[in-house]
């Protein structure tokens, strides 16, 4: 496969979905945002629960969601007295060329009027993008996020290596892959650093993992921590888990590290494999990679997971045949065929 079907955006990026997005810069406008999205076909709401202060980590993540190629247009819905304003978010999204509108509840005279006006705004956007049709594009236009959650012994043996092969194939076609979960890289810093494109990228990888270990120690968390499910699933040490986890990133050279902290939010500057300095928790990790531009997520799981995302399809890959059988409604790919011999990594 050398191409995929998607929707071209004004900035030349390509989405695999054609969503309209309602974004809230604070938590007081969550319910009206959900009501607006529910009344317009193809619309979804992404909300945040961090209050009305100015947290640039949150702000940059929201901006990234609005910039994602899977989004055709954005409605920003604020209350009116928050520090993180709709205008600040709009400034970060508008360079993509997609339609962006702002709406402030206090200025509209309350949530009922704002909801009605928001519905009309989204309906106008929907009319404007309804003529878009999916077209074929080269894989160089695709960014894939790779994630794992609910890992067991089959993850490192089958599911992660299978996704790693797909990641290599995409990079070889000029595409981009983002690999996150810094916590899941504990003990693998030298393995990853040897794959860096240059010395600067190698040092950035070492520093990223060292920072994560320091943060965990400062919080009183053992960096060797594994969940109950990991242990019951046959994993024995954090190094074993980490060495299996990094296989989902494939084998191609690592271009560098993408920051997600308060010091700034990075997007891949060129094609290839990138590491994102993000949390080990599934939902915020996926959120961070989608905010960095991933249109599709490949999510490996051994024990089973139902994690999804509002604007990006999340493809579930399990290496555990039992999990595939029990949770077939939630699984997309049974990589367990690698273990029973009925399939291979490349089949």
pLDDT in tens, 1-51: 799 999 999 999 999 999 999 999 989 999 999 999 999 999 999 988 877
Strand, helix or coil at 32?
A: helix
pLDDT of residue 62: 95
Q: What is the mean pLDDT of residues 238-253?
A: 83
DSSP 8-state secondary structure symbol assigned to residue 138: E
310 close to 161: Cβ distance less than 8 angstroms: no
Instruction: State which of 20-34, 182-196, 216-230 shows the largest mean pLDDT.
Output: 20-34
Q: Residue 27 has which token pair?
A: 């938590």
24 close to 84: Cβ distance less than 8 angstroms: no
pLDDT tens column, 249-260: 999 999 999 999
pLDDT of residue 344: 85
Alpha carbons 153 and 313: distance in angstroms, whole number: 25
Domains of the chain (ranges, CATH numbers): 3-129 (3.40.50), 142-340 (no CATH)
pTM greater than 0.75 (yes/no): yes
């Amino acid at each position: 496969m050398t191409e995929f079907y998607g929707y071209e955006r004004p900035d030349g990026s390509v989405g695999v979905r054609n969503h309209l997005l309602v974004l809230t810069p604070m938590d007081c406008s969550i319910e009206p945002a959900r009501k607006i999205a529910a009344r317009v076909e193809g619309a979804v709401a992404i909300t945040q629960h961090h209050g009305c202060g100015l947290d640039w980590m949150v702000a940059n993540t929201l901006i990234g969601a609005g910039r994602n190629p899977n989004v055709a247009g954005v409605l920003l819905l604020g209350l009116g007295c928050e520090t993180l304003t709709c205008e600040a978010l709009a400034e970060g999204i508008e360079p993509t060329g997609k339609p962006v509108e702002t709406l402030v509840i206090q200025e509209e005279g309350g949530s009922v009027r704002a909801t009605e006006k928001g519905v009309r705004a989204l309906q106008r956007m929907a009319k404007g993008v309804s003529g878009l049709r999916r077209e074929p594009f080269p894989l160089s236009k695709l960014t894939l996020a790779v994630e794992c959650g609910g890992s067991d012994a089959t993850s490192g043996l089958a599911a992660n290596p299978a996704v790693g092969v797909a990641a290599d194939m995409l990079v070889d076609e000029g595409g981009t892959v983002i690999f996150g979960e810094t916590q899941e890289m504990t003990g693998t810093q030298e393995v990853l650093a040897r794959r860096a494109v240059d010395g600067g990228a190698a040092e950035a990888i070492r520093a990223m993992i060292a920072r994560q270990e320091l943060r965990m120690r400062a919080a009183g968390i053992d960096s060797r921590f594994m969940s109950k499910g990991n242990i019951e699933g046959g994993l024995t040490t954090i190094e074993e888990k980490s060495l299996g986890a990094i296989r989902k990133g494939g084998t191609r050279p690592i271009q560098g590290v993408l920051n997600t902290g308060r010091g700034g939010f990075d997007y891949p500057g060129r094609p290839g494999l990138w590491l994102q300095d993000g949390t080990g928790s599934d939902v915020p990790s996926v959120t961070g990679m989608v905010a960095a531009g991933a249109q599709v997520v490949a999510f490996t799981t051994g024990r089973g997971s139902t994690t999804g995302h509002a604007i990006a399809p999340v493809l579930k890959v399990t290496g555990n045949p039992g999990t595939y059988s029990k949770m077939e409604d939630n699984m997309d790919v049974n990589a367990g065929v690698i273990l029973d011999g009925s399939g291979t990594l490349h089949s």
